[in-house]
Structure 1
Amino acid sequence: MSKKTRFNIKYKTTPIRSSSDDFWAYGVNITKPNHPHVTDIREDGFVPQHFASKVWQSNFLLMDMLSALPVKNQLNVIEIGAGWGALSVFMNKHFDAAVIASDLDENLWPYQQMLAQRNDSNITSKVLPIEQITDRVLAETDLIIASDICYDNDTKNALQSLVELVACRNDVVFLLADIGRKAFMRLSEDNEIFQDVKLRPRSISEPVDMQGYVLSVNPIREILC
């Protein structure tokens, strides 16, 4: 078992690959697909769509990055393509952020709220397509986070529009993590013309040994203390 530290705070992290039906990632307790709580939700008719059958690994790249930063309290955060909302729970639990866990799939809110309850956190679940994140929405947002959602041309095009919206502002930061899918890498290449759009490699050893990338739009220092 390892612990991640931010100042005097230690975040519990355990390996995913174990006989347990749950694990810890940066202080967040996460259920695996075979957990009884997940089974109960599915049996109630809430079957995930759009590849949302589990918590995807690039979540942990952003948790690792953000856990080392002095993020101020009460950020207004939107997680897009939130899936089960593990990253949303992380932001609320550790930084007291006001978080909207948004996704296309209306079946995901029970999974998000289940994780929130397991972690004594409070997040808002909302069906919100990327295309509906307008300047009006951004005016009330400090940070947009997402992971493993740029997997085809449609999602790449939607994210391209969002990157351009955010790049034209100086009051919002967008962080997008990915394992390096072709669509994601094309998105990065298409936005090299923007001064404040950066692609950085990142690797972690737990809860899983992996390498990936974080695409940032606008400097993260803009929303720090």
Structure 2
Amino acid sequence: MSASGVVIRAGEPNTIRTRGITLLRSGHKEIRRLKRANHTPSIHGNKVWNSSFLIMDHLTRRKVTPDQHLLDIGCGWGPLSVFSAKRFGCSVTAVDADEDVFPYLDLHAQINKVAIQQKVMRFEKISQKMLADIHIMAGADICFWDELTPVLYNLIRRALRAGVKEIIIADPGRSPFYALAERCEKAGMDSRVVERRTKTPKALCADLLIINN
């Protein structure tokens, strides 16, 4: 597979081929090249995080349509963004507070031949106006600090007020994530936590907080 001079061959070391997309591990030569160029993410955007794969499976069962717009919050290297654009042909906007993740997202988008809209933005700055044309808001491995629980809770409230139809947050089981799920339930949101498992690209397990509007 070739894009902008980057050639990824089938079975190449440090690659992941799953769910119709190609992803690069941190040891891949193209990832190392970006690191040498001083693109060093500072907010844990240093690899492909596993919970993304469980959201991909959920979205596949949900049958996302091309006319929908997905917002990938805390996008990191962009596996969820790339998958959604490739699999469903829908519009995707990727948001992250760390501008240094976007060269890695660009690389994955090029390899998979998809276009992703990008915004450097903290969760607190995602406004209700910006959310007005979003159908699905999703984020994987983004609730890892206690101080993120109220920030994400307030973002979810803004998203619901803006008319976002579904919100999916995936996590392997950190306490701030469960605190977020509890706050959503106590607020009377149509929310649930479900456990999801997969065997590809390896044996993985995560909980999904799913909120419907």
Measured after TM superposition, the shift of residue 208 of structure 1 is: 1.7
Which blocks of at least 5 consecutive residues in structure 2 are unaligned?
1-10
Contact 1:170 1:218 survives alignment (8 Å): no
Gaps of 5+ in 1: 1-17, 220-225
CA shift in 2, pair 1:37/1:19, >3 Å: closer
Kindly tell me the number of residue pairs found equivalent between the two proteins. Answer: 202
Within 5 A, what are the aligned runs for 1:1-225? 20-168=13-161, 170-193=163-186, 194-218=188-212
Please give the root-mean-square deviation of Cα atoms over the aligned residues, in Å: 1.6
Percentage of identical aligned residues: 29
Q: Is contact 1:112–1:125 with CA below 8 Å preserved after alignment?
A: no
| Aligned counterpart, 1:7 | none
Q: In structure 2, how many angstroms separate the alpha carbons of the residues matched to 1:170 and 1:106?
A: 28
Cα deviation 1:86-135 (Å, max 9, x = unaligned): 10000100111111111010111110010001111111222011111221
1:61-107 superposed Cα distances (whole Å, 9 cap, x missing partner): 00111122321113111111100001000010011111111101011
Tell me how far apart the structure 2 counterparts of residues 162 and 171 of structure 1 sit (CA, whole Å): 11
1:156 CA drift (Å): 1.2
TM superposition score normalised by structure 2: 0.89
SS at match of 2:58: helix
Residue 202 to residue 23, structure 1, CA distance change in 2 (3 Å):
same
Q: Is the 8 A contact 2:21 2:83 kept in 1?
A: yes
TM superposition shift of 1:171: 4.0
By how many angstroms is 1:190 displaced? 1.5
The residue matched to 1:180 in structure 2 has which SS?
coil
Check 1:108–1:186 CA distance in 2 against 1; reply closer, same or farther (3 A cut).
Answer: same
